[in-house]
């Protein structure tokens, strides 16, 4: 097939078009998650890789209402978290998104603050994580083909020192490269995927599993 060479202007238009398209899907996902109670009080962050080379990540800005996102609330950052486009600043948790993209090759990262994730991460932090198996919903996770699969969800101590969390994540990712997500204690869930749709499905599957596991192990909490 003949290779079509784009002019720089055409390439720039393509890149802008891709960023806008990702922004629309992030806004749609954010609204859906907010309505489920997973992104209240400006919490959480959603991101997607818009360009590989040079690298550009589309990510929700710090402190914005996730139930009412507009295009100006999604900014573009480089591999170090510096803002490439947009007027708002990135969240400090941007570094966690970047390390997930860098170490695991994820194309989209999603972070929620749900009640069940918060309760379970507090209750089981002493075990270092939660092991969930026996549920059909596990098949919502990429590569999982049976309800008998055992899914390990690590729990890390929460910290305002993002570099410390990133160092711990490097160890976890090299030890357990097949995990689909992790919890920060008393804070929330991180998961990721090969696309926004993939990451969104992972949030829905994991939040479902966390609620089931929580209702069973924490009683009527
Ligand atoms: Zn958070």
For residue 145, how far is its CA from the centre of ligand 1 (angstroms)?
30
For residue 80, how far is its CA from the centre of ligand 1 (angstroms)?
19
**Band of the pLDDT at 145, cuts 50, 70, 90?**
confident
For residue 4, how far is its CA from the centre of ligand 1 (angstroms)?
42
Write down the pLDDT at residue 220: 59
**Band of the pLDDT at 211, cuts 50, 70, 90?**
very high
For residue 10, how far is its CA from the centre of ligand 1 (angstroms)?
37
For residue 93, how far is its CA from the centre of ligand 1 (angstroms)?
7
Q: Is the pLDDT of residue 60 over 70?
A: yes
Cα Rg for the chain, rounded, in angstroms? 18
The pair of three-digit structure tokens given for residue 122, joined into one six-digit string: 């507090």
Q: Is the pLDDT of residue 101 over 80?
A: yes
For residue 220, how far is its CA from the centre of ligand 1 (angstroms)?
25
β partners of residue 132: 151
Write down the pLDDT at residue 212: 96
Write down the pLDDT at residue 1: 52
Which pTM was predicted? 0.94
Write down the pLDDT at residue 2: 56
Q: Does domain 8-217 have CATH number 3.40.225.10?
A: yes
The pair of three-digit structure tokens given for residue 128, joined into one six-digit string: 């270092």
The string of pLDDT tens digits covering residues 124-135 is 999 999 999 999
Write down the pLDDT at residue 13: 80
Write down the pLDDT at residue 16: 86
Write down the pLDDT at residue 6: 79
Write down the pLDDT at residue 219: 76
The string of pLDDT tens digits covering residues 11-41 is 888 888 899 999 999 999 999 999 999 999 9
């Amino acid at each position: 097939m003949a290779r079509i060479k784009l002019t720089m202007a055409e390439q720039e238009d393509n890149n802008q078009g891709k960023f806008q398209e990702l922004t629309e899907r992030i806004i749609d996902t954010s609204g859906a998650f907010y309505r489920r109670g997973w992104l209240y009080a400006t919490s959480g962050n959603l991101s997607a890789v818009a360009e590989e080379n040079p690298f550009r990540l589309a990510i929700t800005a710090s402190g914005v209402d996730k139930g009412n996102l507009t295009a100006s609330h999604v900014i573009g950052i480089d591999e170090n978290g510096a803002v490439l486009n947009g007027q708002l600043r990135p969240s400090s948790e941007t570094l966690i998104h970047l390390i997930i993209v860098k170490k695991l090759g994820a194309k989209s990262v999603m972070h929620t603050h749900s009640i069940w994730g918060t309760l379970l991460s507090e209750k089981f932090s002493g075990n270092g994580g939660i092991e969930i198996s026996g549920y059909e919903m596990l098949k919502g996770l990429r590569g999982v083909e049976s309800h008998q699969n055992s899914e390990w969800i690590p729990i890390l101590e929460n910290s305002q020192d993002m570099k410390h969390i990133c160092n711990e994540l490097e160890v976890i990712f090299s030890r357990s490269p097949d995990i689909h997500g992790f919890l920060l204690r008393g804070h929330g869930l991180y998961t990721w995927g090969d696309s926004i749709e993939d990451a969104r499905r992972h949030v829905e599957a994991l939040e479902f599993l966390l609620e089931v596991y929580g209702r069973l192990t924490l009683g009527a909490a």
